[in-house]
Structure 1
Amino acid sequence: MTDQRPPPAPPPMDAANPPGLPEPSAPGAAQAEQRLDAAGPVPPASGWSLRSLEFRAALLLILMAVLLGGSVLYLLWVRGAFEQTQQLYLTADDSDGVTVGMDMTFSGFPVGRVKRIELADQGQVRIQVDVPVKSARWLRVSSVFTLERGLVGAARLRAFTGILDDAPLPPDAERVVLRGDVSAEIPKMVADARDVLQNVNQLTATDSALSSALGEVRTFAQRLNSNKGGLMAAVTGNEADAQRVAQLIDHANQLVQNLDGVVRKADQQVLGKQGLVTDAQGAVRQLNALLQDARQTVAQVDAVLKEVQGVAGNAREATTNLGDLRADVDASLRKIDALITELNRKWPFAPKNKEVTLP
């Protein structure tokens, strides 16, 4: 009768000690082996556990793909890949310092990005700039574009707009870039400095015009500091001419003093207390009084004439009034004659012909 018992299970394999390798002699390995022997054989994994593990791995892969795609989309959005843009073409003689992706700034803020650099048919560099539509309002038809490159740092593409009320810059516009390369100006600056140094050497030479002028100034200063003539000798060049100039100045001072005396005398004769102006003012006042008397006489004549018209029937009384009026008129004429005679005796009213003809 045969034995129907199943064959004994193979001993469990130790992951740390595969078959064919010598047994570890460490005490920890022996203790781990004893624990595995005590726990028994490991049961095989079930189908649900495998499917759950596969689902988790797939979910992790999908999540990683979503995160990677979202990062790419976010970077594209940040870089303006989804913005509506218009093209601007800039032409320059040299593309040194210009790179694809560099920003074009306005007042320090980026308003465009270089997308492409190509060589045009005329041999010039053609730079394509993508300008977002929301930033295109800062660019006008009068805008100026510059490419600046300093001694240190990268080149900068900048836009300047002086008049914001001009018409907007149309799409696909083409403008010329003005270059401002400091390093390109260095040879010219060195040449200018060399010319300046040569001019300074020519000015400071012993036979130069500046040296001669300084010699003349020194000679003038020596004449000025000398005791022979002083300033006049330094100006005229010799002592004799200086003496003549001094004599002329003395004569001029004497003439000025004499003229001052004459002006004082004329002032006293004309504007003094006994001067002609005072006499003329008195004569004018007398004439004014005489004219007032004449005005009163005329008023009396007017009144008498009215009385004559009113009482034309009384001839004797009218004749008496006319006689009085005649006497008043004669008295006024005598006063005028005396005043005219007084005025004729005073200068500057004295006429050449001193006779006065009375009416």
Structure 2
Amino acid sequence: MKPIKYLFILWQGLALLASSGYGQMKTSLKSGQLSLIKSQSTNPGDNVHCGLQDKAGNIWFGTTGDGVYKYDGRSFTQITAKNGLNSNSVNHILEDKDGKIWIGTEAGLVLYDGKTFAEIRIPLRKKMPANKFQNTHDVFSIMQDKSGKLWFATIDGVYIYDPRRADGQTFTPFIISEGAGGYRNSNNNVEYILEDKAGHFWFGGRGNEGVYRYDPKRAVGKSMTNLKPNGDSWAWPVLQDKKGDIWFSNWSGAYRYDGKSFTKMDGLSNNPVTRIIEDKKGNLWFGGGGRGICRYDPNRAVGQTFTCFTTKDGLINNDVWSILEDKSGNIWVGTRNTGLCRYDPRRAVGKTFTSFSE
């Protein structure tokens, strides 16, 4: 059976959305039509880098050249520097417990309160590493801990934001001790932060010697532990699964940490793993450079645990940079060349992927 043909809707220009306070590029859809994103980036290597579904059900996609696309289930709204972003290169998007949207870009931090986008300045420390935005931070990732504090991994190190403080000193640098073992270039190489169920904080990034676990309950000088995945000098801490294992990704694959030791995952070759998520059924999804996406079922027999999907199966591009499961159980895959597609596990084989990029 031939794939179902969708009527692709082209972007029709700019309009002003008075109720939300920002400009948009949006399609007008009729029943049965499919809305697409159309990249305006001049760099063909840009990608859909991150994704988030907010409490209202809207899905946000951050790109490295086209700003942010917001999908309401029918059409896409594009938000760029013209509409309040400080850069069109977006690294991370997070919705906090109050429903505010935090956007980390290569030029710093932007906050969306439901009406407007506003730049939030993180105080600069002395001797900040060189970057093209000399008076701002490059925010790599954002994490909110159990207490409500927000953690920002930036080009100038880690900062903690406490919205409950009333003295105006809301951003506090978090200094990782140089004696922790191998933390090069001061604290500049943190790219991902994870809080586990025990209340420990994990830090990882390129240019370090392994990963770091911070236990806030231990005494100063003994609170930071340096751990090294087998055979690799660095890794990104990305999630803790339902069983309690912590997963790390890096340029040579993925690691699982069971609380005692690291195990490198066989079946993923030695290609980069850029994203890992756990779906509602307990499967883990791995995305990476040139591999496409692979689904890992921990309950299947050894040797049958990985199922991989590539362009041969309908994936839009094999260079994957973001994976998101929505509330309906669909898997959204963001790729190089500003590619976006959706995997529906309920559809028949051969019709499971739908492309949302022109």
* Structure ID, larger Rg: 1
Q: Which TM bucket (shorter chain)?
A: under 0.3
- Between Structure 1 and Structure 2, the one with more strand by share is 2
Structure with the larger RCO, 1 or 2 (CA within 8 Å, 6+ apart): 2
TM-score, structure 2 length as denominator?
0.17
- Between Structure 1 and Structure 2, the one with more helix by share is 1
